[in-house]
Amino acid sequence: MKRTWILGFLLTALNAAVHAQAPGESEQRPVPAAPALPSYRLDPQSLTISGVSSGAYMAVQMQVAFSSIFKGAASVAGGVYGCAEADAGRAQDECTVHPEKIRVADQVQNARAFAAHGLIDPTSNLARHQVYLFSSPKDSIIKAENSEKLAEFYQAFNIAGVQHDSTLESAHGFPTLDQGAPCTRGLLPWLLDCGFDTAGKILEKMYGPLKARGTADPSRLRPFSQMDFGTESTPLFSNGWVYVPEACERGATCRLHVALHGCQMNPNWIQDKFARLAGYNEWAETNQIVVLYPQSAKLGTVNPYSCWDWFGFTGPDYANKKGAQMRALMGMINRIQGL
């Protein structure tokens, strides 16, 4: 089975986006050494996760594999759990531009088999989860029907709390209120200026009514070393970020949300822009939500664009509890909760 990230539609789209940027946009800047990830007083029942593109696939993988500890997940421009089946070719065909080929019943059966063998938590946990989906009819990289397939997957596990926003005509990426590239053009930093508050919609779906969006304090977005949780072969970038609201810093009991970037959205490409500009921090500050921003990394020819592993470049266990990046993310979650 070939795992190399083969040249094709997705590479063409990503390369075109890189060359469309202003000079220096995708250049990696030196990142100073960061301290260890600290722990905070966090409600263990509050854990949620979201992601965009490859991060959306990874968020769903984490939700399904560790369903006993998560209360919800959000997928922005993503698709169904285990879609790629550790096949890069399938990832660039069925799971991106030809979702009509996907048989959701196969992914449901695979998840149930994984649970039966203890590779993921019992799928019965999923019924209590909150779910937010975003897809765009104009997304040419991961077609909107992929999100419909994911919604069908959730229905098989009796998840009633699914919200799906699917009418905004945006390019591939993460829509924001006022940050990023033009809404209808898929360009670095893959944040899209759409007048649409995706982060706010995610957090309100995860936690219910929230206090009004506030003002983020840039000094509260702090780097931490990821080297305690893996290596360059995991792969992880040297540093991640965590946003800690003032109340959480003072010792209040807070909630925890994990936000995962997509391909070409780690510091190799856009520095800290996803963590700084996606829109989560403004809601976090007024609602006592700590936001953890892990960072994937490049890995030779199998992952040149710093994607999260949603197609098996780290091995066949990529979507279950044994997966290298899955274990790394759980290590961060446990550390920040003081476990």
Cβ proximity of 235 and 298 under 8 Å: yes
Q: What is the pLDDT of residue 13?
A: 53
Cβ proximity of 86 and 3 under 8 Å: yes
As a dihedral over the C-alpha atoms of residue 330, residue 77, residue 290, residue 213, rounded to 10 degrees, the angle is: -170
Rounded to two decimals, the pTM is 0.93
Q: List the one residue out of 305, 278, 260 whose CA is nearest residue 6.
A: 305
Q: Structural domain boundaries of the chain?
A: 42-336
Model pLDDT for residues 316-329, shown as the tens digit of each residue: 999 999 999 999 99
For the annotated catalytic residues, the residue numbers are: 53, 139, 172
Q: Above 90 in pLDDT, residue 243?
A: yes
Q: What is the pLDDT of residue 86?
A: 95
Q: Which residues is 48 bridged to in the sheet?
A: 72, 257
Q: Above 80 in pLDDT, residue 183?
A: yes
